[in-house]
Amino acid sequence: MTRLAAVDLGASSGRVMLAELSGGLRLTEAHRFPNGPVRVAGRLHWDILGLYREILAGLRAAGPVSSIGVDSWAVDYGLLDESGALLGNPVHYRDDRTQGVAEQVAAQVGAATLYETSGLQVLPFNTIYQLLADRLDGAATMLLIPDLIGYWLTGELGAEVTNASTTGLLDVRTRAWALPLAERLGLPAGLFPPLRQPGDHAGDLRPDVAAEIGWSAPVRAVASHDTASAVAAVPASGPAFAYISCGTWSLAGVELPGPVLTQESRAANFTNEAGVDGTVRYLRNVMGLWLLQECLRAWPGSDLRELLKAAAGERPFAAVVNPDEPVFLPPGDMPARIAAECRRTGQRPPSSPAAFTRCVLESLALGHRLAVRQAMELSGREVEVVHLVGGGSRNELLCQLTADACELPVVAGPAEATTFGNVLVQARAAGLVSDLEEMRSLVAASEPLRRYEPSGDGAAWREAAARL
């Protein structure tokens, strides 16, 4: 039996998962911990040292393993000085410091040039905009969150390519740092560490780390952007699939052998991010279950299971909103913002938590529909099935609404897709699996999956889509 550890940091929680491979693949949770923003002097930060402390506790609980992999959300980073010391707590991507920066960069460089270089969807929190809003005095190296954790574990500097592709500073064709673009924007070339590929050796645990947790092991670069790991674990049996990695965000698109850099793709705000084995994750970010998570924070004591049951009985399409409206991005009173958006668009706001929940899930399903259909149209990829993975795959109502909205079958699961992708890249590096196809077959054989067939009134979904 081979034991592997996956450190998986999400935007609302983190965990250390233990994987055991012996014919099949079994996951157990060694340690879970909360992750949330901390506001200090008006700025929203991550508690990165607290996360690192919990990671060490999780590795200690997991016990000796053959290797460790680290993945997390994208775009955020820490800055190190010449001595390797962290200059400050990483800023949270939902902070407002980048307001107006994307427009300034587009005016300086040109939106078409930016897209031709990085292939990225314009999002205000992309790393390129955060760096330009940051104070870089004394900064010698930028490390994205998984690479920063890996540096503290091993003492080795590097940047894993799938996460680097979310920065806006990686050349989408060559998969090398776009140094001419960085220098044109006044960003020092020295900020960007050497690139690593999924499966590369990232270093061995430092002696002090090994002493603290009681054992030692190598650290492997995995597909360290959590969505890249999740897509690597999509249990598809062929290329004719779309995926939705659904959690705080929904990342919806198709897997391609190369980028799509057309004017139409840029106008539709689609992104080309690096995947495992040279693949491209051609997708668009949809706001995701963040809307429902923030609603639940506004309804203390609400039971999600009961809310979903009640929402299933609410009148369809009473109100729908565009989940990607910028007003929904920051934390705060989400029901009030949804109600205001309904009034702005001439709709009666929902009148109960169940009605708000129905509004959110139908709106999210419509966001999934638009992203999947546009990905098919812009890429030319035929899609026969949608694989919905991540925490959202447990939400039966959302899965059925997504099948109805997309007018395609939805296969839900695994919920732990990111962890599966993380450990399977490690397993392949150890010679235990051979390729992406075998990795996906192992996931399909190890996890129960549920299929949702489209039902209901397709014309009603088309009318609702037209309202948006």
The residues annotated as belonging to the active site are 226
Q: If we measure between CA atoms, which residue out of 315, 320, 363, 357 comes closest to residue 335?
A: 357
Half-sphere exposure of 390 (CA within 13 A, CB side): 24
Distance CA(53)–CA(252), nearest Å, equals 33
Distance CA(119)–CA(312), nearest Å, equals 39
Cβ atoms of residues 118 and 59 within 8 Å: no
The first and second tokens of residue 5, run together, are: 């550890």
- DSSP letters, 228-246, are HHHHHT---SSS-EEEEEE
- DSSP letters, 309-333, are HHHHTSPTTS----TT-GGGSSSS-
Distance CA(154)–CA(106), nearest Å, equals 38
Q: If we measure between CA atoms, which residue out of 296, 453, 283, 294 comes closest to residue 367?
A: 283
Q: Which residues, in sequence order, are CB contacts of 440 under 8 Å at separation 6+?
A: 232, 233, 234, 235, 236, 237
Helices 353-379/290-298 angle, 10° precision: 170
List phi, psi (to 5°) of 77.
Answer: -155, 165
Q: Which stretches within 185-289 are classed as H helix? A: 207-213, 226-232, 263-267
Distance CA(459)–CA(465), nearest Å, equals 10
The first and second tokens of residue 178, run together, are: 């776009």
Cβ atoms of residues 389 and 398 within 8 Å: no
- The dihedral through the CA atoms of 343, 345, 350, 354 has a sign that is negative
Q: Which residues, in sequence order, are CB contacts of 443 under 8 Å at separation 6+?
A: 25, 233, 234, 235, 414, 417, 420, 424
